[in-house]
Amino acid sequence: MVAALSIMPHLGMLSQAYPLFRQRYPEVSLQLIEGLFPDVESKLRNGSVDFYIGAAPRSTPAPGLKTEVLFENTRAVIGRKGHPLGRSRSLKALAQAHWAITSVDYDAERDLKAMFGSHGLPPPKIVLQAKSALSILVGLANSDLLAMLPVQWDEFPLTKGALDVIPIREVLPAPSIILVKRPDLPLTPAAEYFADMLLRQIPVRSVAKGPRQVVA
């Protein structure tokens, strides 16, 4: 069984879901892939990945996959504990900082520049591109780099000792969190249970009112 998760589900959903899955299916081998939708789209289509939960891509996936919008997420500015800009309260105060981004597939560089531009600020200086949560953690904890990351980083026990949120006043929207799978290939009981345990960890405050949006 293979599941693909972006950074947010790893931080905010997996720690509670995995023990529950292990209790129900202790003999099932689970392979986890950390990545974004473009990394695993072809594997979803050929059935070698059972499902993806994570940040939505900029464009709607081509027909042949079922996409369900789970909730809308937000981001926070994250830096090391004791960061010299740790008391900043606006994005403008961070304009001269050096930044890290978490992926090159989502076009995070354009995304970050657009965020600054929407507040009338010049493009930020990006000096690190990291493909994994571990890479971004090490980069931030051992430098004065900043990153805009899912708010769940602030709630993740393994990062609390090294990283802090810089509480700026601006609201920083993030990509929607989605579930993607093949509509014509039912999940195995184990995969369905694991997906269900992950979905049960969706933050209550993040669930949009009304039915979840499904796009076939």
- Say which residue, 84 or 207, is predicted with more confidence: 84
207 pLDDT band (50/70/90 cuts)? very low
pLDDT, mean of residues 124-133: 91
What pLDDT, on a 0 to 100 scale, did the predictor assign at position 158? 81
The CATH architecture assigned to 74-173 reads: 3-Layer(aba) Sandwich (3.40)
What pLDDT, on a 0 to 100 scale, did the predictor assign at position 102? 83
Distance CA 13, CA 5 (A): 10
What pLDDT, on a 0 to 100 scale, did the predictor assign at position 159? 85
Q: Which CATH superfamily is domain 2-72+175-215 in?
A: Periplasmic binding protein-like II (3.40.190.10)
What pLDDT, on a 0 to 100 scale, did the predictor assign at position 106? 62
45 pLDDT band (50/70/90 cuts)? very high
Cα-based distances in Å from 40 to 32, 70, 87, 113, 194? 12, 19, 39, 26, 18
What pLDDT, on a 0 to 100 scale, did the predictor assign at position 156? 84
What pLDDT, on a 0 to 100 scale, did the predictor assign at position 110? 84
Q: Where are the domains of the chain?
A: 2-72+175-215, 74-173
The residues, ordered by sequence, that sit 6+ positions from 4 with a Cβ below 8 Å of its Cβ are 32, 33, 34, 35, 39, 40, 43, 44, 49, 51, 52, 53, 54
Which residue, 214, 215, 216, 176, is CA-closest to 9? 176
Per-residue burial over 39-48, b if 16 or more Cβ lie within 10 Å, else e, is bbbebbeeee
pLDDT, mean of residues 8-33: 95
Instruction: Flag whether pLDDT at 215 surpasses 90.
Output: no
pLDDT digits (tens, 9 = 90+) for 132-189: 888 999 999 999 999 999 998 888 888 888 999 999 999 999 889 999 999 999 999 9
> Is the distance from CB of 50 to CB of 193 less than 8 angstroms?
no
pLDDT digits (tens, 9 = 90+) for 79-125: 999 999 999 999 999 999 999 998 755 677 888 898 999 999 999 99
What pLDDT, on a 0 to 100 scale, did the predictor assign at position 160? 82
75 pLDDT band (50/70/90 cuts)? very high
210 pLDDT band (50/70/90 cuts)? very low
Hey, do 2-72+175-215 and 74-173 end up sharing a CATH topology, with the first three levels equal?
yes
pLDDT digits (tens, 9 = 90+) for 55-74: 998 877 778 999 999 999 99
What pLDDT, on a 0 to 100 scale, did the predictor assign at position 190? 98
